[in-house]
């Protein structure tokens, strides 16, 4: 379980024109991702979604508040506990295509997490790669291809596979299907759901599309300019939104899926 409590993050503008001005990206945000559940973080551009994801990954530090994982405040851990956290909480970003090294074959890209882990014998790597490609519904024959030879949806699956090879407990999914064609989005979301069921994963899902959130998430946090507007299970939120802003958002957003 990952628990964020009273997270505040302020970005101060530097330089001759920014002096003194600041942006409250997150204002005392408190949420939790339950075991095996998907928490969706929804909001318009600039609402603080990615900042929350980066704090949950310990890529940046909050100004105040705590992030608890397995009962420990991960904003304060180091050494083995930090390595353990980095392995168990893995990111999947929107642009997996851009994140994959174009000069590496898929097999080499997927060997990296195994190398990083250090606890899988080299003799097993090839089998692990075959197994993970099968698990994400890709042909093991793709192992010898380069990223540019794959479609956007296939590349995003490779990004997911790379994260899974670390054997995480939580995936931080930052707009994981936003760069994909609508026809491919549902495939990748269904794959993520199957993986969650089979592996007992928990997800933090960042998105801006409410119809996808309704379909994919168990719980939903609505952010607006860094302020927590609603936090409820998806069914309650869509049936009976508490906040005026959420109501406006629901009324304005097309429901596609």
Ligand X SMILES: Nc1ncnc2c1ncn2[C@@H]1O[C@H](COP(=O)(O)OP(=O)(O)OP(=O)(O)O)[C@@H](O)[C@H]1O
Q: How far is the CB of 47 from ligand X (least distance, A)?
A: 4
Alpha helices in 89-151 (DSSP H): 96-99, 106-117, 122-135
Tokens of 116: 């990083």
Q: How far is the CB of 51 from ligand X (least distance, A)?
A: 3
Residues linked to residue 24 through DSSP beta bridges, in sequence order: 10
Distance of alpha carbon 162 from alpha carbon 155, whole angstroms: 11
Q: How far is the CB of 107 from ligand X (least distance, A)?
A: 32
Q: How far is the CB of 60 from ligand X (least distance, A)?
A: 8
Choice between 48 and 241, CB closer to ligand X: 48
Binding site for ligand X (CB under 6 A): 11, 23, 25, 43, 45-51, 208
Choice between 51 and 156, CB closer to ligand X: 51
Choice between 157 and 224, CB closer to ligand X: 224
Q: How far is the CB of 21 from ligand X (least distance, A)?
A: 10
Choice between 106 and 204, CB closer to ligand X: 204
- Residues composing the chain: 257
Q: Which strand (E) or helix (H) includes residue 255?
A: none
The DSSP secondary-structure symbol of 2 reads E
Distance of alpha carbon 133 from alpha carbon 54, whole angstroms: 27
Q: How far is the CB of 18 from ligand X (least distance, A)?
A: 9
Choice between 45 and 183, CB closer to ligand X: 45
Choice between 38 and 47, CB closer to ligand X: 47
Place of tokens 């495939």: 187
Q: How far is the CB of 6 from ligand X (least distance, A)?
A: 17
Choice between 94 and 154, CB closer to ligand X: 94
Place of tokens 């939580």: 170
């Amino acid at each position: 379980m990952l628990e964020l409590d009273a997270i505040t993050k302020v970005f101060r503008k530097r330089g001759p024109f920014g002096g003194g001005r600041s942006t409250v990206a997150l204002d005392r945000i408190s949420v939790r991702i339950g075991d095996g559940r998907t928490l969706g973080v929804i909001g318009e551009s600039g609402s603080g979604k990615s900042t929350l994801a980066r704090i949950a990954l310990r890529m940046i530090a909050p100004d105040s508040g705590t992030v608890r994982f397995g009962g420990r405040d991960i904003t304060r851990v180091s050494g083995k506990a930090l390595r353990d956290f980095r392995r168990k909480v893995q990111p999947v970003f929107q642009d997996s295509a851009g994140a994959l090294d174009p000069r590496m074959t898929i097999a080499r890209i997927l060997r990296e997490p195994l190398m990083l882990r250090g606890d899988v014998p080299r003799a097993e790597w090839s089998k692990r790669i075959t197994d993970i490609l099968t698990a994400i519904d890709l042909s093991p024959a793709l192992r010898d291809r380069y990223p540019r030879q794959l479609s956007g949806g296939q590349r995003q699956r490779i990004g997911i596979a790379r994260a899974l090879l670390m054997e995480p407990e939580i995936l931080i999914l930052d707009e994981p299907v936003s760069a994909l064609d609508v026809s491919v989005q549902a495939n990748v979301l269904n794959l993520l759901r199957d993986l969650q069921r089979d592996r007992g994963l928990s997800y933090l899902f960042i998105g801006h599309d409410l119809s996808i959130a309704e379909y994919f998430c168990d719980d939903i946090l609505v952010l607006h300019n860094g302020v927590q507007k609603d936090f409820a299970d998806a069914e309650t939120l869509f049936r009976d939104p508490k906040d005026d802003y959420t109501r406006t958002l629901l009324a304005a957003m097309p429901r596609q899926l």
